[in-house]
Amino acid sequence: METALKNRIEVYAGTAGHSVWFSHDEGESFIHPNSHSGMYLEARTWCFSSHPLNTDLLYAGTDMGIFVWNEQITRWTHIPSPMNDVWAIAQHPLNPQIIFAGSRPANLYQSSDGGLSWQKIDVPNLADFSEINMGPTRFTQILFDPVDKEMIWATVEIGGIFQSSDHGKTWHSRTSGLVSIDVHGILITQDANQQKIIYATTNQGLHRSTNNGLSWEFVLLDSPWQYTRAIVGQVNDPAIIWLCNGNGPPGNTGKLLKSIDYGYSWNEVALPEVLNSTPWCIATHGSMPELLLMCSNLGQVFKTIDTGITWEKMPHTFGELRALHWRMTSYSDHRPSHSVTVRRLPPTTEKK
């Protein structure tokens, strides 16, 4: 007898020292897998990646390498790789088996078989700025270009922006005009005239390129601070862009900014609670564009279900968040016998 599957939204919060937390109710409450879940409970989780063609699997980059969560057996499995500390993961939009991953210290790897094997990619000028960074450099984002399908982009803290025009075989540095090579994120959109616009966030401000990254211009924000983190486009409207702006890492305040004109002007979003630190991550998904989640570096989580018209603060505040992700999954009421149990904590502040 076949078991009927149901759909639900799963939210994943990656913490700096308490592994990954799950929410089955869009962030109203979070649960924490126990020590038998397959991931060390004090792991630092830096990034997530999932793919619409394989809704069972979720990849997580951590300070212990790459883990994959399997929704059918509800556990984490460590994927052997040359990387010990993984800060960025991206899967090819048309093939979830093709994965790019960036590490700390900054090195780039590719897998063509879902992570079973890895090949290191030569990235010229991926210099070590450890004396500036007071530690190893790291990849912060890998992005498949939605406009020029053969292009891939990667950002490095501290190291700049890199571009490949041949599906990741060869790479070139694209830093001309950047006021800082401490790059945190990148976004590509296309305006009503089909002009491609690229944005990059850094510790010293937002940058824009309209010539495919050959040069960048500084974008001055109407804000007391120019520090920027995540920049994310609205899935169903390329004119709308969301930007995290604050007074440093972790900082003690900040703004969530919104543009409705492809990033040429910005307005602060009204939130129901004062931010306790710099806003850090924004999670969105094509299956439900009106649902967005945003978190601050020191653990606040906010949600909108009407594309940002109204926001609400979720009850639980974490100690420190570094990654936020949501997706639609399928589940059965009849879990397999080896399903892990979870422990549910009240919505109080998690100690760092």
- Residue 339's pLDDT is 37
User: What pTM was estimated for this model as a whole?
Assistant: 0.91
Based on the number of CB atoms within 10 Å of its own CB, is 38 exposed (0-12), middle (13-18) or buried (19 or more)? middle
How far are the Cα atoms of 202, 210, 257 from residue 282, in angstroms, in the given order?
16, 24, 11
Q: What is the tens place of the pLDDT at every residue in 65-75? A: 999 999 888 89
**What pLDDT shows up at residue 101?**
98
pLDDT of amino acid 128? 57
Edge-first strand order for the sheet with 342-344 is 321-331, 6-15, 20-23, 31-33, 342-344
What integer pLDDT is reported at residue 3 of this predicted model?
58
pLDDT at residue number 108: 97
What topology does CATH give the domain 6-344?
Methylamine Dehydrogenase; Chain H (2.130.10)
Q: In the prediction, which pLDDT does 348 show?
A: 40
Higher pLDDT, 80 or 3: 80
Task: Determine the average pLDDT of the residues in 325-349.
Answer: 54
Residue range 176-193, pLDDT digits in tens = 999 999 999 999 999 999
pLDDT at 330 (0 to 100) = 73
Instruction: Look at residues 260, 177, 268 and name the one whose alpha carbon lies nearest to residue 222.
Output: 268
Considering 1-5, 6-10, 58-62, the range whose residues carry the highest mean pLDDT is 58-62
* pLDDT reported for residue 347: 40
Does 127 have pLDDT greater than 60? yes
